[in-house]
Amino acid sequence: MASTPKASTDVPSIAAEAVLAKSDFDSTNATVVKGYDFNNGIDHHALLSSYATCGFSATKFGLAVQEIIRMINKKLEVPVEDITDFNSHTNRRLSNCTIFLGLTSNLVSCGVRETIRYLVEHNMVDCLVVTAGGIEEDFIKCLGNSYIGAFNLSGKELRKKGVNRVGNMLVPNDNYCKFEDWVMPILDQMLEEQNSQGMKWTPSKVIHRLGKEINDKSSIYYWCYQNNIPVFSPALTDGSIGDMLYFHSHKTSGLVLDIVEDVRKMNNQAVTAKHSGMIILGGGLVKHHVNNANLMRNGADFSVNVNTGQEFDGSDSGAPPDEAVSWGKIKMDATPVKLCADASFAFPLIVAETFARYQQQFDQRLEKEKSLPKKAA
């Protein structure tokens, strides 16, 4: 009887070479992946700092924090008393880094409004670009509350009750009625000033005026008015303000808003900037408007995008920063960051790790600036 051949104990060479391939990697300057150790207690700053070495979107968060800190350090590099140049369109001192903040309306509808208000209250950014809903919702919240609801509430049933749903938040329609009662007399006065004084209104001038009239410290645009921070909303009619302008035109026609003056003023923000930083929350109009202004200076020096858009459909919202580099909207040697995340939870955490840690320096700077001449010599 023939003996059975003895099975080979050698691993096939093709498998061994595939699985046990040798590494050719120099780890000398590489960053080790490591997360937060809760045995060290609850330290939120240390926790958020650890994101940079955690991997995945957490590392993107850490990179966004580092990019914004570079913007802030560049801005604070030159003492405010040493700045003698002013932007001729806004009469703001030209800091060493002009920071543009773009945001979509949903971020004012939700609690990120308070984070944005904090930034402008302490004069931490130089220019806002906001969609129409992000303007009116700020004023409406001064007049009435919004409430937490749910994403799956019946639109039909809500409509019967006069309640509007924004994601999982609820806004009673009475709030918009209050807004109409508040804003209509202001529009009347604006028309009177246009006719009697030759006032040329633009969207940014309207927002500036409404920020003055609301006189409420919880308002984003109250603080923009107080600190002379320009706010641009090129599609201002695309929301409740547009509804009010429509109603007002039936009552008394003739009020005119000049968007050309505003695009000149917006682009000039970038052209005259010594250095430029962009923080853009969301996509669409605000993302392109901020990017396109920075094209006028051959690109921003710093850039952070926070949105959930993807690039496969060719949308500007989903485009990665490198696409903006190809257009000249971000400088070729910049280190831009895109964080794919819902800004409603990501941005307050980013602010906690960046601007909030520099509040004392910003407040001292603001107080010093108030004592300086308002216009260049």
Catalytic residue selected from 141, 205, 287, 329: 329
Report how far residue 132's alpha carbon sits from residue 105's, in angstroms, rounded to the nearest whole number: 7
Report how far residue 110's alpha carbon sits from residue 42's, in angstroms, rounded to the nearest whole number: 27
CA atoms within 13 A on the CB side of 163: 18
Residue 6 annotated as catalytic: no
Catalytic residues: 329
